[in-house]
Amino acid sequence: YLSETAVTLARSQIRWGAQDCSKHTEGAYTGEVAGEMLREVGCSHVIVGHSERRALYAESDEIIARKYAAALATGLTPILCVGETLAERDGDQTSAVVARQLDALIAHCGVAALGRGLVAYEPVWAIGTGRTATPAQAQEVHAFIRGRIAAHDAIIAGSLRVLYGGSVKAGNARELFAMPDVDGGLVGGASLKADEFVAIVAAAAV
């Protein structure tokens, strides 16, 4: 629906993006959607590393880093998703998992690349389950993400936008967005309900 979206939003201040892109910028890769193709329909952003891509399509941290780099090379702003499963959270591995995912990106692209994108923390256990990280839990991981990046470059860490994605709803958006290191939301199911999504947008604008 990207081309239709582009027509609808052409005269608005809203920007649009895609849910995934190829790790290749060009070439004969049948079925892949290259960043240039997304740019042609007006996309400015693209998600890379969504938990479903990691789990269902076995995308490794290396593949996701390559997708991030390809997005940048084609003029898109990548949104890097990081986060842990329920088993990893219950095993007290949240920090280790998020650190591994961030470190792989930094190793492949360099920390400066993060200054040209966004990071979204999406606890896998809270996606589409109705369970949501508490504002304190979200803040803890967001602060960890910022601190991990600050160890490489404090300026980039300070200016980086870190979004929360995991059953964001109108009822919890204001509390989540009030946290000092939560800069917005990566909204899933609630974005399909117009009234709910408008309320989330309003909460972000406060």
Place of tokens 């972000």: 204
Q: How far is CA 108 from CA 111, 114, 156, 161, in A?
A: 9, 11, 17, 20
Q: Is 120 helix (H, G, I), strand (E, B) or coil?
A: strand
Please confirm, yes or no, whether 24 is among the known catalytic residues.
no
Element (H, E) at 164: strand 162-164
The pair of structure tokens assigned to 188 is 């899933």
Task: Exactly one of 36, 40, 62, 122 is catalytic; name it.
Answer: 122
Please confirm, yes or no, whether 122 is among the known catalytic residues.
yes
Task: Exactly one of 50, 59, 142, 196 is catalytic; name it.
Answer: 50
| Chain center to CA of 100 | 16
Query: Which are the catalytic amino acids?
Result: 50, 122
